[in-house]
């Protein structure tokens, strides 16, 4: 059996790590100043060496010039702990695609590539990153670590999310966000990817769970992932269609134009309510349209990191 050929048939990314690097490098190329400047330990000043101190940071070149011992002092490294939370319910796998590329993504593929891109930056900064995945169960949890092995393990998990095709798996955000919040013991920068589509739990309970993430002074960013063309603008041909709820299996037959205005208003009102609640609870809200580039995600990371430190 040709293992590589079989892997390529899965419909996932052939090389998620390489794609993430391309996203980040393209983003950096478009900036006037590198986002990595100042995040690692930088030289601050010299101080006189005191007997008994470690000789590790003695500036021997300066000693040769002055015949005096000085040590280099550095600004403290601003390493942080980051936790990614991903909603992996069936609705996150919309629209169904046969293959994926940077220009052809559904919600879960967009989320995976955005997460891998954030991980790539975090890795360069020697930061610790953890991951939680949930749907109607707590599917995966890994605490924050910064090792190369851990990084590749998380990349493998993200690739597996894209390749999977969960059927009628609903979103139990309320239950599992509380559990995830309990797992994140130390102050962290939290990025939450979800389409915010719920079936049973009241909106207020959902935001109670989001508010739980604010405990321990976490910085929380909600990336609201959706396909703007289909899920907000309701851009479908006006021919008879069957619309199926991928999480419950329920369906309805209709002409798109017959309900388009009502649908758009209802969804727009819901999205606006989400933004207002996020503002109320001091959660950063970011629209993440799968048809757009990742610049919005990465810029938000840079700002959130600056606020977190």
pLDDT confidence of 7, banded at 50, 70, 90?
A: very low
Q: How far is CA 213 from the centre of its chain?
A: 15
| pLDDT score for 1 | 35
Omega prior to 95 cis, within 30 of 0:
yes
Record the tokens describing residue 234, joined without a space.
Answer: 């309701």
- Mean pLDDT throughout 115-133? 93
Count Cβ atoms within 10 A of the Cβ of residue 258 and give its class: 0-12 exposed, 13-18 middle, 19 or more buried: exposed
Q: Around Cβ 211, how many Cβ atoms within 10 Å?
A: 17
pLDDT surpassing 70 at residue 34 = no
pLDDT surpassing 80 at residue 72 = no
Q: How far is CA 114 from the centre of its chain?
A: 6
| pLDDT score for 284 | 94
Give residue for tokens 């199926």.
244
pLDDT surpassing 70 at residue 89 = yes
Distance CA 91, CA 156 (A): 22
Among 43-47, 263-267, 280-284, the minimum mean pLDDT is found in: 43-47
Sheet of 128-134, strand order: 138-145, 128-134, 81-87, 189-194, 219-226, 284-289
| pLDDT score for 45 | 66
pTM: 0.80
**Tens-place pLDDT, residues 132-188:** 999 888 999 999 999 999 999 999 999 999 988 777 667 778 888 889 999 998 889
pLDDT surpassing 80 at residue 44 = no
| pLDDT score for 309 | 66
pLDDT surpassing 90 at residue 227 = yes
Among 1-15, 44-58, 69-83, 294-308, the minimum mean pLDDT is found in: 1-15
| pLDDT score for 74 | 54
């Amino acid at each position: 059996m040709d293992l590589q050929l079989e892997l390529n048939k899965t419909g996932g990314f052939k090389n998620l790590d390489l794609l993430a690097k391309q996203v980040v490098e393209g983003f950096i190329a478009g900036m006037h100043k590198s986002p990595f400047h100042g995040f690692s330990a930088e030289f601050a000043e010299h101080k006189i060496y005191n007997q008994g101190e470690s000789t590790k940071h003695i500036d021997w070149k300066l000693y040769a010039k002055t015949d005096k011992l000085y040590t280099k002092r550095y600004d403290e490294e601003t390493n942080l702990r980051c936790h990614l939370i991903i909603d992996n319910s069936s609705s996150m796998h919309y629209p169904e695609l046969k293959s994926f590329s940077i220009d052809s993504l559904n919600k879960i593929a967009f989320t995976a590539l955005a997460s891998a891109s954030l991980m790539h930056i975090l890795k360069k900064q020697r930061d610790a990153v953890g991951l939680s995945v949930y749907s109607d169960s707590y599917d995966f949890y890994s605490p924050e670590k910064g090792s190369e092995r851990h990084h590749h393990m998380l990349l493998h998990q993200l690739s597996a999310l894209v390749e999977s095709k969960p059927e009628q798996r609903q979103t139990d955000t309320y239950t599992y966000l509380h559990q995830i919040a309990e797992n994140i013991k130390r102050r962290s920068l939290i990025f939450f990817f979800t389409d915010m589509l719920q079936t049973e739990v009241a909106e207020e309970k959902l935001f109670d769970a989001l508010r739980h993430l604010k405990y321990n002074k976490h910085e929380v960013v909600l990336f609201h992932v959706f396909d703007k063309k289909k899920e907000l603008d309701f851009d479908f041909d006006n021919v008879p269609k069957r619309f199926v709820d991928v999480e419950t299996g329920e369906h309805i037959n209709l002409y798109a134009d017959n309900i388009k205005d009502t649908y758009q208003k209802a969804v727009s009102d819901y999205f606006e309510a989400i933004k207002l609640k996020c503002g109320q609870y001091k959660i950063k809200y970011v629209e993440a349209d799968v048809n757009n580039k990742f610049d919005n995600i990465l810029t938000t990371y840079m700002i959130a990191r600056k606020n977190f430190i």
